[in-house]
Amino acid sequence: MDITVNILLTIATAATPLLIAAIGELVVERSGVLNLGVEGMMIMGAVCGFGAAYLTGSPWIGVLAAIIAGALFSLLFAFMTLTLATNQVATGLSLTILGLGLSGMIGTNFVGLPGVRLPNLYIPGLSDIPVVGKLLFGQDPLFYVSIALVIAVSWFLFKTRKGLMLRSIGDSHSSAHALGIPVIAYRYLAVMFGGACAGLAGAHLSLVYTPQWVENMTAGRGWIALALVVFASWRPMRVLAGAYIFGAVWIGQLHAQAFGIPVPSQFLSALPYLATIVVLVLISRNKRLTMMNTPASLGQPFVPDR
């Protein structure tokens, strides 16, 4: 029983950064912008989160620093693609390249240092309830943040007027512009929300998942988060499901390695990436369905006439 609980807990820990990054990117893509820089923003969040926590001794300041770092870093992308109308794919790639480089530079002196872990939530009484207590009331704070984000984004997109406006921009930016909806302003905010989420996801890696700084510690999670958004057909609840499936794959292969399954560890390590491909193939096979769900102006640059 305890083993099951522990496995579930580790799955949640592995799923949380994917979920946070993906839910942020979902909002970005719903506004019609494709930001391939998730990996770069995430690693910036990870290194800034670690650094701030290490220097101040407070993991919460680390979390805050990661959020700010992610948002500021995404602002660069927003300025390029929204104000200068650059190619979103190429700009996103350069954000990732820059993020990996910059984080390596910032983190040179952090390598090998002991990290500060964000403490798990503990509610006396509730957290002690067998099984459920630990799962529901004893996890790291960012786990709750991730769930809250899913609910909040869901509510925002489908229950509020501003959410409707955001979706309308993603569907047709020229129509939205003709109606007087401030397309560029909404997209700036969406991109920065995505950046803040990616930064937070990075903080989860360096303050919860493995509380230390390792170069390239995101290991492609930013890209998997991007795949999750496609997998989820741009729906928040499905992102939740997808993140937990991937969390399970990630933990599964780690346990298999620890268990000493007679398969080379590299093959097991490749599983999450292969799983991503398989999942993408399965979801995009139905071309009609994909076209229905994809925000119609996704990736298109928008330059209004004036």
Partner 1 sequence: MRIELVKRPERSKLFSALSPFIAFALTVMAGAILFAALGKNPLAALYTYFIDPVTQVWQLHELAIKAAPLILIGVGLAVCYRANVWNIGAEGQFVIGAVTGSILPVMFPAATGWWVLPLMLVMGALGGAAYASIPAFLKTRFNTNEILTSLMLVYVAQLFLDWLVRGWWRDPQAYNFPQSVQFNPSAVLPELDPMAGRANWGFVFALVAAVLVWLMLSRMMKGFEIRVLGSSPRAGRFAGFRYSYMVFFAFLISGALAGLAGISEVSGAIGQLQPSISPGYGFTAIIVAFLGRLNPLGIVAAGLVLALTYLGGEAAQTALGISDKVARVFQGMLLFFVLASDTLIHYRIRFAGIGQKSTEAA
Partner 2 sequence: MAKSADKAANLIEVRGLTKVFGTLTACDHVDLSIREGEIHALLGENGAGKSTLVKMLFGSLEPTSGELFWKGKPVRIGSPSVARSLGIGMVFQHFSLFEALTAAENIALSLHDGATLDEIASRSRELSKTYGLPLDPDSLVGDLSVGERQRIEITRCLLQEPDLIILDEPTSVLTPQEADKLFETLERLRSEGKSILYISHRLEEVKRLCDRATVMRHGKVVGHCDPRKETAASLARMMVGTDVVTAESTPIELGGAPELLAICGLSRKPAGPFSMPLKNIWLSVRTGEVLGIAGVAGNGQGEFFEAVSGEALQESADAVRIRGKSVGRVGISARRRMGAAFVPEERLGHGAAPRMKLSENLLLSRHDTDRNAFVALGGFVKSGAIQSATQRIIEAMDVRKSAPDPEAAALSGGNLQKFIIGRELDRQPAVMVVNQPTWGVDAGAAARIRQALISLARAGSAVLVISQDLDELFEISDAIAVMHNGELSKPIPRGEATYEKIGLLMGGAEPGHAAPHHPEVA
Report helix, strand or coil for 26.
Answer: helix
Residue from 98, 100, 106, 167 that binds partner 2 (CB under 8 A)?
167
Residue type, 101: G
Specify the residue, 57 or 162, whose C-beta has the smaller distance to partner 2.
Answer: 162
- Least distance between partner 2 and beta carbon 164 (Å): 6
In a 13 Å sphere around the CA of 101, the CA atoms on its Cβ side amount to 6
Q: Is 161 in the site for partner 2 (CB under 8 A)?
A: yes
Residue from 164, 280, 298, 300 that binds partner 1 (CB under 8 A)?
280
Residue from 269, 293, 298, 300 that binds partner 1 (CB under 8 A)?
269
Specify the residue, 27 or 207, whose C-beta has the smaller distance to partner 2.
Answer: 27
Q: Could you tell me if 290 and 284 are in contact, meaning their C-beta atoms sit under 8 angstroms apart?
A: yes
Q: Could you tell me if 251 and 14 are in contact, meaning their C-beta atoms sit under 8 angstroms apart?
A: yes
Cα 26–Cα 31–Cα 36 angle in degrees, nearest 5: 55
Specify the residue, 137 or 246, whose C-beta has the smaller distance to partner 1.
Answer: 246
Extended beta strands in 28-186, E state: none
Task: Give the contact letters, 196-235, x = binds to partner 1 (CB under 8 A), - = no.
Answer: -----------------------xx--x--xx--x-----
Q: Is 91 in the site for partner 1 (CB under 8 A)?
A: yes
Q: Is 86 in the site for partner 1 (CB under 8 A)?
A: yes
Residues 6+ apart with CB under 8 A from 241: 232
Q: Is 155 in the site for partner 1 (CB under 8 A)?
A: no
Q: Count interface residues toward partner 1 (CB under 8 A).
A: 46
Region class of 34: left (phi > 0), else alpha (psi between -120 and 50), else beta: beta
DSSP 8-class letter at 130: T
Structure tokens given for 65: 């620093």
Residue from 149, 176, 197, 240 that binds partner 2 (CB under 8 A)?
176
- Least distance between partner 1 and beta carbon 134 (Å): 32
Q: Count interface residues toward partner 2 (CB under 8 A).
A: 22
Q: Is 285 in the site for partner 2 (CB under 8 A)?
A: no
Specify the residue, 171 or 215, whose C-beta has the smaller distance to partner 1.
Answer: 215
Specify the residue, 137 or 223, whose C-beta has the smaller distance to partner 1.
Answer: 223
- Which of partner 1, partner 2, none sits in contact with 159, Cβ below 5 to 8 A by type? none
Contacts by residues 233-239 (CB-CB < 8 Å, ≥ 24 positions apart): 233/283, 233/289, 233/290, 233/293, 234/26, 234/29, 234/30, 234/293, 234/294, 234/295, 235/293, 236/23, 236/26, 236/150, 236/153, 236/154, 236/157, 237/150, 237/154, 239/19, 239/22, 239/23, 239/26, 239/150
Q: Is 109 in the site for partner 2 (CB under 8 A)?
A: no
Q: Which of 150, 194, 139, 172 is nearest to 304 (CA)?
A: 172
Distance CA 31, CA 165 (A): 9
**Contact footprint for partner 1 (CB under 8 A):** 36, 76, 80, 83-87, 89-91, 93-95, 97-102, 104-105, 108, 219-220, 223, 226-227, 230, 264, 266-267, 269-270, 273-274, 276-277, 280-281, 284-285, 287, 290, 303, 306
**Contact footprint for partner 2 (CB under 8 A):** 161, 164-165, 167-168, 171-172, 174-181, 288, 291-292, 295-296, 305-306
